[in-house]
Amino acid sequence: MSEKKRGGCCSWILIPLVSILLFAMIDSCSSDPVTSGTPSTVYTTTTTTTVSTTTVTGSSTTVNTTSSQMGTTTTTTTLVTTATTAAKNNVFGDRVSLSQYLQAEQRAGKNVMTFVYTGNTKELEDGEMCRMLATYFTSYTTKKVSGGVEYTLTVTDYPGDRVVRAHRSGNTSSLSSGEKQLLDKARQIVNTAKTQTNSQLELELALVDWLCDNVVYLTASTDVNSLTHINRPLTAYGALIDGSANCQGYTDGFYLLASIAGFEVDRQYMPGHVTNSICLDGKWYIVDATHCDGAMSVQDNIPCYYLFNAGMDRVSTYSWEDYLNRRPYAATSSSAYYYNFAADGSAHGYKKTFSSLAEASKSVVQAYRNGRTEQHIMVLQKELDGNDFISAVDAAAKAAGVRVQYTVWHRHAGNFTYYYVKFK
């Protein structure tokens, strides 16, 4: 397939719209990995957003103007004395309790939410509620009430959300022709994957691999400037139908596929990125299709599964505030983590995690002798490189009296080094 451009960097920017604030999850910057010498990958991500706020006070009106990369948004708020009945029942003074409320309403299928916020309203600016909900975009109106500010928040779902709800209900009459096409495509992918796999973990991996094999990472415009127009690369349309998407499109695509396959999945916002989470055996883990795709090498399209069913001990490249948590994530990775798969002899069922390169190199020699064509490896050491690996394997091969031919790629993530070996 064609060379893929990588990134997965989401920033939040303001979109012009008179008398309403419109926020979107935006993937606006990307950089290609750099490969030199022995195939390897280096990630560099840059996000720049400038925000300024001006407040003008009149007799009964406050006007807040916020500027950013995409233009200017103006919200007019008229002073009132009492909150609506709906808002009185939902009063929050901090982002943690507000986020829990908004997420509960979202999971109950509500798209309009009314509440009063008594804390610092600047905490809710710049797309914070969109981040809490990890949704396509949100818009809201405000009015000042006694003791705080009343918000009426309107949520616009990803296409994947609407298609999944229709699939689960068995009633697709509310779907557009495009959404029905999306559902048909997702069902086709899932049904094919089921015939080719023998376990739930293999099925989940097959869905991630489908995205890796069929989607080109796109760094085109991520402008969301209309309540009716869908920017396809930001959605499952881009991933499943068009074959090009940013991290939002990968995430919506995996959400749709995994949901139809019977998994319980969600989304999680991280600074500069959005990804999926999945519930396995009652515990929640991060699964990131975007960063599995070509993460070892763009040019050679080599995947790296370092965020496949990762507990928080492996999500070392990202962190986020507690109020953005959408699920109670497992502290440690389980046997469902790709590099912890049981050594059962299946295509991906072999030992992959090693405490040292010396230990890993012996495994490489044995894998070569056993006729394995490839091997994924995780070494519990940071900042190792390709030359370190080659030296260790050469020593292990010499000790075993064999000659091993291979190509190796590597990348770093947190305190670990990941390798992919392709035997010749």
Q: Sort 163 into a burial class: Cβ within 10 Å, 0-12 / 13-18 / 19+.
A: buried
pLDDT in tens, 218-265: 875 555 655 567 899 999 999 999 999 999 999 999 999 999 999 999
Structure tokens of 221?
């415009």
Predicted local distance difference test score (pLDDT) of residue 294: 80
- pLDDT digit string (tens) for 2-20? 334 333 334 333 333 333 3
Q: What's the pLDDT tens digit per position in 287-320?
A: 999 999 987 776 788 889 999 999 999 997 788 9
pLDDT at 88: 79
At 1 the pLDDT is 39
- Give the model's pLDDT for residue 10: 40
Q: How many CB atoms lie within 10 A of CB 110?
A: 12
Q: 297 forms bridges with which residues in the sheet? A: 302
pLDDT at 31: 28
What value does the mean pLDDT of the chain take? 82
Q: Which helix (H) or strand (E) holds 10?
A: strand 9-14
Residue type for 99, please?
S
What percent of the chain clears pLDDT 90, i.e. is strictly above it?
69
- Following DSSP, what letter does each residue of 212-227 receive, concatenated? HHH-EE--S------S
CA distance 163 to 184: 10
- pLDDT value at position 149? 96
Q: Which domains does the chain have, with CATH numbers?
A: 16-22+52-156 (no CATH), 159-340 (3.10.620), 353-423 (3.30.110)
Mean pLDDT of 189-209: 97
> What is the per-residue pLDDT across 310-360, written as a single tens digit (0 to 9) for each?
999 999 778 899 999 999 999 999 999 999 999 998 889 999 999 999 999
Classify residue 405 by burial, with Cβ atoms within 10 Å: 0-12, 13-18, 19+: exposed
What would the pLDDT profile of 392-414 be if each residue is shown by its tens digit?
Answer: 999 999 999 999 999 999 999 88
Residue 76 has pLDDT above 70, yes or no: no
Residue-level pLDDT at 65: 29
**Cβ distance 159 to 235 under 8 Å?**
yes
Element (H, E) at 102: helix 95-107
Q: Nearest 5°: CA angle at 271, between 288 and 96?
A: 105
Distance (Å, rounded) from C-alpha 378 to C-alpha 420? 9
Which strand (E) or helix (H) includes residue 73?
strand 71-78
Contact 312, 330 (CB under 8 A): yes
Which strand (E) or helix (H) includes residue 25? strand 21-29
Per-residue pLDDT tens digits for 127-170: 999 999 999 989 999 999 999 999 999 999 999 999 999 999 99
Q: What is the pLDDT of residues 22-75, one digit of tens each?
A: 444 433 323 222 222 233 322 222 222 222 222 222 223 333 322 222 233 334
Residues 82 and 145: beta-carbon distance below 8 Å: yes
Say if residues 219 and 246 touch (Cβ distance below 8 Å): yes
Tokens 């990134």 belong to residue: 7
- The structure tokens listed for 297 are 């090498």
Q: Give residue 48's pLDDT.
A: 28
Query: Is-contact 21 14, C-beta < 8 A?
Result: yes
Q: Among candidates 224, 411, 326, 294, which has minimal Cα distance to 4?
A: 294
Whether 420 contacts 302, CB under 8 Å: yes
- C-alpha distance from residue 117 to each of 55, 87, 96, 101, 152 (Å): 19, 9, 12, 12, 11
